Amino acid sequence: MLEKEQLRKSLENLVRYFAHRADESDDREWSMITGVAERLLLDVTDCIRKNKPLNHDLLERIRGLNKLAREATVQSEQKKKSPPKCTLGRSHSRV
């Protein structure tokens, strides 16, 4: 039971973190990841409340969330390193 409660607390923290990332960036992916984390938090909380074990599907979804967050972090870092795109159009680039 203690492990489930720790997992629930970790998911709560992740939801807050992902929501913060979504607010700070214009990247819709962080909003989607926040939604996935919120759904997982609800499902884990439901398992705890009903005293049910965490099933394989739920654990796989948690692993999938971890993978999504890692990929989004890498993409965010790459966006920071890439030069800004010119939005003035092609005619401006010839000057």
Does the pLDDT value for residue 30 go beyond 80? yes
Joined together, the tokens standing for residue 26 give 């214009």
* pTM value > 0.85: no
Alpha carbons 12 and 70: distance in angstroms, whole number: 18
Query: Which one has a higher pLDDT value, 85 or 70?
Result: 70
Alpha carbons 19 and 44: distance in angstroms, whole number: 19
Residue 80, pLDDT score = 75
pLDDT tens-digit series, residues 48-82: 999 999 899 999 999 999 999 999 999 888 877 77
Say if CB 37 and CB 11 are below 8 A apart.
yes
Domain ranges of the chain: 2-81
Average pLDDT, whole number, for the chain? 86
SS3 36: helix
Query: Which one has a higher pLDDT value, 77 or 44?
Result: 44
State the pLDDT confidence band at 85, using cuts at 50, 70 and 90: low
Q: What's the average model confidence in pLDDT over 1-28?
A: 89
